[in-house]
Amino acid sequence: MPAPATDIQSLSGDLLLLVFHELSVADVLCVRRVCRNFAATTRAKVLWMNLLSAVGSSEENVLPTCMKAPNLLDATALEALVVRVLRLARRWRNNDLFPVQVWRLNLCQSITWLRLVAGSWLFVASSDNYVSKITCWDMTLLFQNHMEPIAEAYLPGQVKTAQLEVQDSGIVIALGLGPSSPSVHIITLVQHLGTHHFAQLYRLEGSSHVLILQGDFIGCAVRCNTLIPHIINWKTQTTYDLPSPSGVDEPHFRNTPHSLILWNEFIVVVRHDTLHFYSQPTSAGPPVYTKFVKTIEIWELVVLDSRPSEPLRLLVISSIGVGIITIESDVLFNDDAYTHISVATTPKQWPWYRLTANGSGKRALWVSAEHAMRNTGKVEHPQLVYAAVFSRAPESETPLIQWMNDFPEDPALWAFPTIDFDEALGYTVVGNCFGELAIYDPIESDPSLCCRLTPDFSVHHQSLPQLLPVTPITLDFNLAPRRPMGQTISDRSLTSHWTQDDLALNPRFWCRDMLCDMYWDWDMWQGNLGDTAWLLSHAFGFPLLPIPQAHAYDDEADMPYVLVRSGERHLLLTHYRNPIQSFPLPLPRPLHSRLAERHQYLRPTAYTEILVQRSMFAADHRTSCRNRWREQQERGGRPHKNLLDTQTITQKYCIDI
């Protein structure tokens, strides 16, 4: 006789869990909806821990890299995480990441850096010439339309570069401030008396241009107004220089590198088309130069997470397109340890920029100006492009997922965007130079599952560090005169540090008066977004504040030469479309461009950003009658005038600024 049927409701809780472990996530949720008696079992933490492990074992799913201890989450958070990861994977399979939910904020200052942390925190640095601040939003509150930040603090300088890492002690951020008083501030987010605050862990004067934050080490490119890559153990306050192999001034080492990486026993300095390997410092001595590896030209770079003894993986934009550079662990002994895999081929020269990835780097994002740069007579906005990234060559061409944030209330993607993308949870955040900020979510969230998906990293268990000020700090930021429209400048005190070098220039060709009528770009040396100093830093790798010395007019080129000092070199510029030239100190006499060293673009995508911003600002006003610069000013901000193409905008479209 057949065995009698077993009533499943009579099974013990442990046996029910074993049954549910064999079900898919969709089936578990279906059981909960149709049978009230099983609802409690379907919410058991151990069940969702096992389902999370099963979801993470699939190659198409991506879990947050900060999930080192998922057992710290409760059952509701584990369920919300599993459901979101699966829904996002389904959107990727359908090649559709168009947002279904958007949260928008408008700030007063230009956004220069932002970072998402585990779908829970959003950090934003914003500044103008008068004030600079760092702000944090709790995204679980933001998604419930509580738009106020949970922490805000003011800084003594503009945030030019920044790096963030989630460490065992909490969230650590290294801010490279400048340009008037270069320094590095290491800060964290803490809780004190029931509220969140920014606190300072360490301050390093003189160093700037932060390239990496990894554990106890910070990597910087500038110290004491000199371009010299170095790493600092900020806990022991020990600094190690990474000089050129010969120890002398070599052309290949005159620009800032793309990145510094601590990998296995190496410090890797990533430059334009080479990787340079140094040994890590030990008690026996400082870093020692070991080897270099030739690569393709690297224009933009994201360092992907790698465990010890695993290959080093770099996501790059190059002249070819987007690709993965892989360096094997035996690089010291194997000349074939370098490989390059193409992810996507660029359709034309320089249309892709702002490469973004985080975590494991299985999914990437960048901006495409392919359509915006076509001379079709039609206004085409830049687009966001998403792509899956593989460690091996894909069997077929990687599909690119594109969408355009061209709603009137969205941040202008052409306005020097700052972007972050959470590959595991799907959130994309876009900020820009007009203080416009938006968070995009391609997943329609279940309100019952709206909770924090990671532990609270802001809890500080040790003695409370020094809290950052919550009242504005007025910046001493007078590096170049502001242009009074249609007038000549009368106050020359702001240029008192210009033209002070003893250069013995021929007065027949060179003029030392930088404010005369023959030279009109005297307000473009602040280092603000899109000005000449910004271009020197982002396109050519000279982040030191340039100090103008003289100008000369070239009748053949129909444009002025400008001579500026940047650190220990003098740079000769003609037009931002052209390569620059440089001279060592002291200058050769007589000065002639044939004696200069030519510098090509290290990051030509910076030139793309300027072209797109200048053309789209005018098109935005022409098609929608908007002036985002004026809108930011009406919010209480004081935006930089160089963000306008003043000659085109003020004359052709009669915009009063």
Residue 192 sits in a domain of what CATH number? 2.130.10.10
Structural domain for 413, as ranges = 101-444+458-467
- In the chain, the N- to C-terminal Cα span, in Å, equals 93
Under a CB-based contact definition with an 8 Å cutoff, are residues 242 and 231 in contact? yes
- 152 in the same domain as 88: no
Q: What is the CATH number of the domain that holds 32?
A: 1.20.1280
Q: 495-534 burial, b if ≥16 CB within 10 A, otherwise e?
A: beebbebebebeeeebbbebbeeebebbbbbbbbbbbbbb
Predicted pLDDT at 460: 64
- Inside any domain, residue 160: yes
Q: How many structural domains does the chain have? A: 3
- Inside any domain, residue 478: no
Nearest to 276 by CA among 312, 307, 310, 306: 312
Q: 325-340 burial, b if ≥16 CB within 10 A, otherwise e?
A: bbbebebeeeeebbee
Nearest to 580 by CA among 572, 588, 591: 572
- 630 in the same domain as 556: yes
- Among 45, 75, 93, identify where a domain stops: 93
- 559 in the same domain as 433: no
Alpha-helical regions (H) of 69-217: 75-93, 139-142
- 206 in the same domain as 63: no
- Among 64, 93, 122, identify where a domain stops: 93
- Inside any domain, residue 475: no
Query: Which run of H or of E encompasses 55?
Result: helix 45-56
- Inside any domain, residue 540: yes
pTM, to two decimals: 0.92
- 219 in the same domain as 122: yes
Residue 553: other Cβ atoms inside 10 A = 14
- Inside any domain, residue 271: yes
Per-10-residue mean pLDDT of the chain, 657 residues long, equals 52 70 85 80 87 86 78 85 92 92 94 92 93 94 90 95 90 90 92 89 93 94 91 91 78 87 93 92 86 93 83 92 91 83 84 89 91 68 90 73 84 94 94 95 76 72 82 80 53 79 83 81 83 90 90 63 88 75 78 78 90 84 80 88 53 34
Q: In a 10 Å sphere around its CB, with 0-12 CB exposed, 13-18 middle and 19+ buried, how is residue 346 labelled?
A: middle
- 264 in the same domain as 397: yes
